[in-house]
Structure 1
Amino acid sequence: MMWPSSQASKILTCLLIIVVIYCIYMDTFLFLRIRNYKIDIFEQSENITQETSTHRTLKAQQNYEDVTWIPCNINPLCHPTVKALMVDHINHYIYGPLCAIVDIGLGISEKMLFLTPNMISLFHVFIACVGAKLLTFQSLAARRVAVVLFQIRMFLDDLDGHVARERKHIKGERSEVGTIGYWVDGICDSLGVTAMMIGILVYLKNNPPRRGYKDTPVSTLPYHQLKEINSSEDIERDHTTEIGISYKTKVTLQRIVQVIGLFSGQMVLSSLAWNRYIDLYQNLLENSLEYDISRRESTFMSGTFFFATGLWRIVNPHSYLHLLSLAVFCDKTWAFLKAVHYSGYVCLVVTVATSEYLIENIKSHVVNSMDG
């Protein structure tokens, strides 16, 4: 069973369905917003040629702020950027607006100047350490509290970036590669993820999953079906029944380390690739003012670019963490890690290949055309 038979799990299932529908709805409106309204990152450019001016006059696009009823300081659709298109759904559509609301309510950006973004980053590392300790407990309730703490950590990870951008008067998500804040945020984020993986490793070491076999009559199947199961699952049955399940042996620590190591490697590669393509896309479309603005804008507005960046919404480290948190909450940690420790690499390779293909097309359309 995917879900334990409890009222809490039914509520969680309903919430998960609502979140998925909400994210699909917001993705649809984000694409329509990009296609039909002006985009800030190109309005601010000074490299507007005669061709570009004609291009803009013919489009006669409206400002999105003039038509939306949700204030732009909390609306995640107002200021689309390269990074905004690649941030995972939960951070962009849920934690982002919540950060803005908390910031407005508490006045962190304007009044609490003593509270720096780097201090917020360091604080969420502390929360991650507390959550990691709770993840080692055998009690499912304690591990669920740990999941809540790790979600608070991810919210604070979003909040530190929001505060930094507000104080610099930057609209939309941006990566300021090379700055002190960029490195502090990255290091603190890595420490938080490492703490989570260590907590899960210690839990599985102390409560190893078990490899069992389904005892099926020989007349039905010519062999016993082997499978791995969580030690916390109540699956022992009476062997007098036609079909039963028996424990055979515990999964070894070496196997546990291997699975967690493969998943962690996937997270590292995903993080490196995600940051790399954000930097490349920003340099080609946002930061390089010498390139023709109409070509950069048409690329940014294309369905191909939206699809390619949309893959990174799913295959990025934050998405993995949200799915892992859900698995821990549902007591399916081992099942989730086993399911993705290889398949996740396939998804990552497909996403990277798509991004490389798109980068070459952008260079051909934007860069090489200018050289010609």
Structure 2
Amino acid sequence: MMWPSSTASKVLTLLLLVTFIYCIYMDTFLFLRIQNYRLDIFGNVPENGSESSTFKSILKDTDYEDVLWVPCSINPLCHPTVKALMIDHINHYIYGPFCSIVDIALGISERWLFLTPNMISFFHVFVALIGAKLLTCQSLTARRFAVVLFQIRMFLDDLDGHVARERKHIKGERTEVGTAGFWIDGICDLLGVIAMMIGIFVFLKNNPPRRGYRDTPVSTLPYHQLKEINTSEDLEKDHTAEIGISYKTKVTFQRIIQVLGLFSGQMLLSSLAWNRYIDIYQELLENNAEYDLIRRETMFRSGLFFFATSLWRIVNPHSYLHLLSLAVFCDKTWPFLKVVHYSGYVCLVIAVGTSEYLVDTIQSFVLNGADSL
């Protein structure tokens, strides 16, 4: 281990608590920013006087930059877009600003013109391959270092998009569906995820979790307690315990394939659905200038839209990868996979159902002129 398990647990618990509070804080201020300040994706209100005054009243005249103390160059709240509302918290609120800071400090977008976004994408695949190899190691220290490498990979995944947008002078997060960069970035992301899953599969295959009976004295408990041995940490604790373990069976190879297969399928479906709804929302609310401007902005500011997109912050594939990385770091990979390989589908169905309802609502409101949300 890199440090004693008790110290690691305390540090991780504190770090998770701080991160959780920070993300809730940023989500709150993102919602307030959308409600109270001009949205640059919609531009200025047309001066033709044809819009309803009821809808006009919701459009804001104040620029968010006028009230900032953190400059827009590193502020993730400055340019809210459809995709920005659907990106996971870690990438949006931590890696996004860090990419801006690194870019400003090194001048990657302006001076390193030989370094293309696609080159960054190819490099993070290489990082993922090294991380995958380390994930197969029995040493927890090596696997923890692998987690660090995979987090670097995810940071580089953010960086390639940031550099591409800066060189095209695009403000805010956007998906340019169908472009070469879109496909290269997607394929490189897929290769990185596959590498991680293969590394975890090899580790579990070589070190399958064990299931056994804990032999408890009758004077202590009236029966034998069934326990599953999930991690090397559990094994160490049980060897030093006064009561013993009578090991029965290992988790079967077929069971490992089943759990990993269901989790991987969940990741794939989440990625497809996430990209689908980003594309649909962008077309309805951002890209098509023929649709009513004020109705589009009204919908973008609605609490329903913010809630529906917030669900995708939790169930998008990047969130799954962050949680899986945390599980590997804590040596709880198998317990995590067991918990989410079915329950995650329930969360995904809820997000998809909510999004389908929202798509119908947006189409009725923006395209067909319905008078209520």
Under a length normalisation based on structure 2, what TM-score does the superposition of the two structures give? 0.92
Equivalent pair of 1:52/1:292 in contact (CA under 8 Å)? no
User: What residue number does 1:66 align with?
Assistant: 66
User: What residue number does 2:367 align with?
Assistant: 367
User: What residue number does 2:101 align with?
Assistant: 101
| CA separation of 1:64 and 1:239: change in aligned 2, threshold 3 A | closer
Matches of 2:344 and 2:94, distance apart in 1: 24
Instruction: Name which of structure 1's ranges 47-56 and 150-159 shifts more when overlaid on structure 2.
Output: 47-56
Map Cα deviations across residues 71-94 of structure 1 (whole Å, 9 max, x no partner): 101100000000000000000000
- Cα deviation, residue 229, structure 1: 2.3
Equivalent pair of 1:140/1:331 in contact (CA under 8 Å)? yes
- The one-letter amino acid paired with 1:236 is D
User: What residue number does 2:321 align with?
Assistant: 321
Equivalent pair of 1:128/1:192 in contact (CA under 8 Å)? yes
Equivalent pair of 2:204/2:256 in contact (CA under 8 Å)? yes
DSSP 3-state at the match of 1:341: helix
Map Cα deviations across residues 219-244 of structure 1 (whole Å, 9 max, x no partner): 95667535352355224358974xx5
Equivalent pair of 1:36/1:61 in contact (CA under 8 Å)? no
- The one-letter amino acid paired with 1:9 is S
- Cα deviation, residue 16, structure 1: 1.0
User: Pairwise mapping of residues 235-254 of structure 1 onto structure 2 (< 5 A)?
Assistant: 235-236=237-238, 241=243, 245-254=245-254
| 2:134 corresponds to 1:138 | no
Equivalent pair of 1:209/1:250 in contact (CA under 8 Å)? yes
Instruction: Name which of structure 1's ranges 43-52 and 204-213 shifts more when overlaid on structure 2.
Output: 43-52
Map Cα deviations across residues 117-142 of structure 1 (whole Å, 9 max, x no partner): 00000000000000000011111111
Equivalent pair of 2:132/2:198 in contact (CA under 8 Å)? yes
| CA separation of 1:48 and 1:221: change in aligned 2, threshold 3 A | farther
DSSP 3-state at the match of 2:238: coil
User: What residue number does 2:334 align with?
Assistant: 334
| CA separation of 1:165 and 1:176: change in aligned 2, threshold 3 A | same
| CA separation of 1:222 and 1:49: change in aligned 2, threshold 3 A | farther
Map Cα deviations across residues 138-165 of structure 1 (whole Å, 9 max, x no partner): 1111111100000000000000000000
Matches of 2:254 and 2:196, distance apart in 1: 19
| CA separation of 1:186 and 1:46: change in aligned 2, threshold 3 A | farther
User: Pairwise mapping of residues 1-372 of structure 1 onto structure 2 (< 5 A)?
Assistant: 5-43=5-43, 50-51=50-51, 55-56=55-56, 59-215=59-215, 224-225=225-226, 227-233=228-234, 234-236=236-238, 241=243, 245-369=245-369
DSSP 3-state at the match of 2:78: coil
Q: Which runs of 5+ in 2 are unaligned?
A: none
DSSP 3-state at the match of 1:182: helix
**Identity score, percent:** 72
- Cα deviation, residue 11, structure 1: 1.3
DSSP 3-state at the match of 2:284: helix
Q: Which runs of 5+ in 1 are unaligned?
A: none
| CA separation of 1:304 and 1:87: change in aligned 2, threshold 3 A | same
| CA separation of 1:301 and 1:58: change in aligned 2, threshold 3 A | closer
Equivalent pair of 1:37/1:64 in contact (CA under 8 Å)? yes
DSSP 3-state at the match of 1:173: coil
Matches of 1:180 and 1:44, distance apart in 2: 32
Equivalent pair of 1:237/1:246 in contact (CA under 8 Å)? no
Matches of 1:166 and 1:53, distance apart in 2: 37
The CA RMSD over aligned residues, in Å, is 2.3
Aligned length: 367
DSSP 3-state at the match of 1:211: strand
Equivalent pair of 1:48/1:292 in contact (CA under 8 Å)? no
| CA separation of 1:250 and 1:235: change in aligned 2, threshold 3 A | farther
- Cα deviation, residue 208, structure 1: 0.9
